[in-house]
Chains A and B, each alone.
Chain A
Amino acid sequence: MMASAIIRPLTANHELQPRWIDGRAMDKVAAEFIKPNDRLTAFERLELYNQMYWSRLFDSIREDCPGLLAALGERAFTRLAQAFLERCPSRSFTLRNLCSRLEGFIVANPRLTAPRTKFASEIARFEWAQTVAFDGESRPVVEAAAFARTPPSRLRLGLQPYISLLALQYPIDTYVIAVKRRDAMRSEASNTPDSKAVVRRSVRRAALPRRSPVHVAVHRHENRLFYKRLNPAAFRILEALRTGRTLSQAIAAAGPKVKPQQVRAWFKAWMALGWFCGRVAPAS
């Protein structure tokens, strides 16, 4: 019961809900299991934990989703975050995974982000991809010699698990970079060495960029985060490889207009980045 009470949403005044889920007065419910002291009632003691829970999780989601916060503005973002955390409470030991289901939640609940639902869902996907790129698994790189050993009609390559391939309707990469620059400038302007000490300003909704389809790989190189724009044909090759197609099938997925020397140049760049690894056999 205490856990359920702690994760219940606060009131509009950021207080513990006055009634329990069965309609009983919360102060009486709290008093059933929590002792008061000479300064705080049982209700007030439980409220402390309730408030700390929401403060902690809101801080975490704001830190992980600055682009989404900028896209929606403070009020809509808070409404979305509260609904998300209420219906999808943390199921992981680490807050790192808190936003892993956020994109799906946005798509399933469009009213919360309308009329920017598509934009919001793409930002959520992008910002989760950053988390994966930051500390996702890295497997041993497949060297060039492996290409020579197996014919392309049978060669299957894995793509590093920390790479996310994103086909987006909006230029989310440039949008997120702009938001990061804006936030960095605000932090400097406040003259505090520690960005967390900055008084949190209410974030206004940023202008929606024009719809402009892009293909982006969110990845890391030498443990730094990068966003790499991809030619649509290159994207199709990488997606095909990721889904288990052979090298021949993947290159064919690029389409007939792509020149062989272009494909070779792409593969040379991807290999230099260490993108290819062995495939993991599917679980039986």
Chain B
Amino acid sequence: MPANRFNGHSDYGVGIGLRVPHYAHILSKKPVVDWFEIISENFMVEGGRPLELLDKILEQYRVVQHGVSMYFGSADKPDRAHLKRLKNLVKRTKTPWLSDHLCWGSVDGTYTHDLLPMPYTFGAARRTAEKIRQIRDYLEVPICVENVSSYAEFHVSEMTEWEFLSEVVERADCGILLDVNNIYVSSKNHNFNPYDYVNNVPHHRVGQMHVAGHTKFEKYILDTHDHPVLDPVWKLYAHATRTCGVTATLLEWDDKIPSFDEVHNEALKANEFIDGAKKAVV
């Protein structure tokens, strides 16, 4: 559904990530961009140029926060100091929703700085949902949980990844950031049908989507975010948009970043599929 309680009832269109190589262009040329996604951790600092830059962006643009270190699936309890910093940022940006990943990545205070796949068990779903609830209650902003791309699966898993995602978000009563590139990457690495994934998540909980590029190796696909979006991912996105409804869409391009115009033009290709989805409804 486009505007729903998981994206703060906002009707955002196609956005791109706010990235350092584009700062000068954005501040001088002031291009028309529907919204920017920022990585929360880059701005959870105490002063200096990052916050100066962020405030200038906030004067002109809508911004949504996306995190990479909440680790909803880690056994560690939420860090209060971290949450306090994050909440300060939420107040600064007035983000209509906040997203982070359905993953783990830290153990006993040691961080891997990776988004590690979960064991898909009912116990893990219960604990993860409880952690999401606690964090959402503290931050007082809707949360969307993103599916990660993965390269490993566990013997202990009791269900598919999409069943696990569904279990977590229903228990937590939170939204989904449906990353269709991650679905595609994982489907190739784990031999499942990506359309089964899209068809079997609770569609009314999708508050945002991601598209991105990836890299194929001989025996696996890596989620590299350093290419244009490949055709199979666009097709999956088209299906997701028709199935879940048109919703805020973001292109992730995080490495070997080309010019602003190239990235933005790539993102705007999503409009072709959005228009298709709207016509299908009519």
CA distance A135 to B46 in the complex (A): 6
Q: How far is the CB of A50 from chain B (nearest CB, A)?
A: 10
Q: Which residues of chain B in 187-221 are interfacial with respect to chain A, using CB atoms and an 8 Å cutoff?
A: 189-191, 219-220
Please tell me if A49 contacts chain B, counting CB pairs below 8 Å: yes
Contact of B151 among A49, A56, A91, A194 (CB under 8 A): A49
Q: Which residues of chain B in 237-256 are interfacial with respect to chain A, using CB atoms and an 8 Å cutoff?
A: 255-256
Q: Is the CB of A3 within 8 A of B153?
A: no
Q: Is the CB of A48 within 8 A of B112?
A: no
Q: Is the CB of B48 within 8 A of A135?
A: yes
Q: How far is the CB of A226 from chain B (nearest CB, A)?
A: 12
* Chain B count of residues within 8 A CB distance of the other chain: 39
CA distance A92 to B110 in the complex (A): 7
Q: Is the CB of B112 within 8 A of A93?
A: no
Q: A37-B190, A48-B220, A49-B151 are in contact. Are A136 and B48 (CB under 8 A)?
A: yes
Q: A135-B47, A196-B256, A197-B256 are in contact. Are A33 and B110 (CB under 8 A)?
A: no
For B41, what are the chain A residues with a Cβ–Cβ distance below 8 Å? Answer: 93-94
Please tell me if B279 contacts chain A, counting CB pairs below 8 Å: no
Contact of B153 among A6, A35, A133 (CB under 8 A): A35
Please tell me if A201 contacts chain B, counting CB pairs below 8 Å: no
Please tell me if A138 contacts chain B, counting CB pairs below 8 Å: yes
Please tell me if B59 contacts chain A, counting CB pairs below 8 Å: no
* Interface-side segment among A21-29, A38-46, A74-82, A208-216: A38-46
Please tell me if A272 contacts chain B, counting CB pairs below 8 Å: no
Please tell me if A178 contacts chain B, counting CB pairs below 8 Å: no
Q: A34-B155, A49-B152 are in contact. Are A194 and B256 (CB under 8 A)?
A: yes
Give the residue name and chain of the B residue nearest to A95 (CB): B113
Give the residue name and chain of the A residue nearest to B152 (CB): A45
CA distance A37 to B191 in the complex (A): 8
Give the residue name and chain of the B residue nearest to A4 (CB): B107
Please tell me if A151 contacts chain B, counting CB pairs below 8 Å: no
CA distance A223 to B113 in the complex (A): 28
Q: Is the CB of A40 within 8 A of B219?
A: yes
Please tell me if A2 contacts chain B, counting CB pairs below 8 Å: yes
Contact of A40 among B106, B113, B220 (CB under 8 A): B220
Please tell me if B33 contacts chain A, counting CB pairs below 8 Å: no
For B3, what are the chain A residues with a Cβ–Cβ distance below 8 Å? Answer: none
Please tell me if B89 contacts chain A, counting CB pairs below 8 Å: no
Q: How far is the CB of A273 from chain B (nearest CB, A)?
A: 15
Q: Is the CB of B47 within 8 A of A3?
A: no
Q: Is the CB of B111 within 8 A of A92?
A: yes
Please tell me if A167 contacts chain B, counting CB pairs below 8 Å: no
For A161, what are the chain B residues with a Cβ–Cβ distance below 8 Å? Answer: 46
Please tell me if B282 contacts chain A, counting CB pairs below 8 Å: no
Q: Is the CB of B110 within 8 A of A3?
A: yes
Give the residue name and chain of the A residue nearest to B109 (CB): A91
CA distance A108 to B272 in the complex (A): 59
CA distance A224 to B258 in the complex (A): 25
Q: How far is the CB of A32 from chain B (nearest CB, A)?
A: 8
Q: Is the CB of A49 within 8 A of B155?
A: no
Contact of A90 among B51, B79, B113, B220 (CB under 8 A): B113
Q: Which residues of chain A in 176-234 are interfacial with respect to chain B, using CB atoms and an 8 Å cutoff?
A: 193-194, 196-197, 220, 223-224
The residue in B48, B49, B107, B156 that gathers the most chain A C-beta atoms within 10 A of its C-beta is: B48
Q: Is the CB of A135 within 8 A of B110?
A: no
CA distance A90 to B106 in the complex (A): 10
For A2, what are the chain B residues with a Cβ–Cβ distance below 8 Å? Answer: 116
For B111, what are the chain A residues with a Cβ–Cβ distance below 8 Å? Answer: 89-93
Q: Is the CB of A136 within 8 A of B220?
A: no
Q: 0/1 per residue, B1-43, Cβ < 8 Å to A? A: 0000000000000000000010000000000000000000100
Please tell me if A119 contacts chain B, counting CB pairs below 8 Å: no
Contact of A137 among B47, B82, B114, B255 (CB under 8 A): B47
Q: 0/1 per residue, B138-154, Cβ < 8 Å to A? A: 00000000000001111
Kindly list 11 other residue pairs between chains A and B, CB separation below 8 angstroms, not including A37-B190, A162-B48: A4-B107, A32-B155, A35-B152, A45-B152, A53-B112, A93-B82, A135-B51, A136-B48, A193-B258, A197-B256, A223-B52
Instruction: Return 7 A-B CB contacts under 8 Å, by A number.
Output: A4-B107, A40-B151, A49-B151, A135-B46, A136-B48, A138-B47, A196-B255
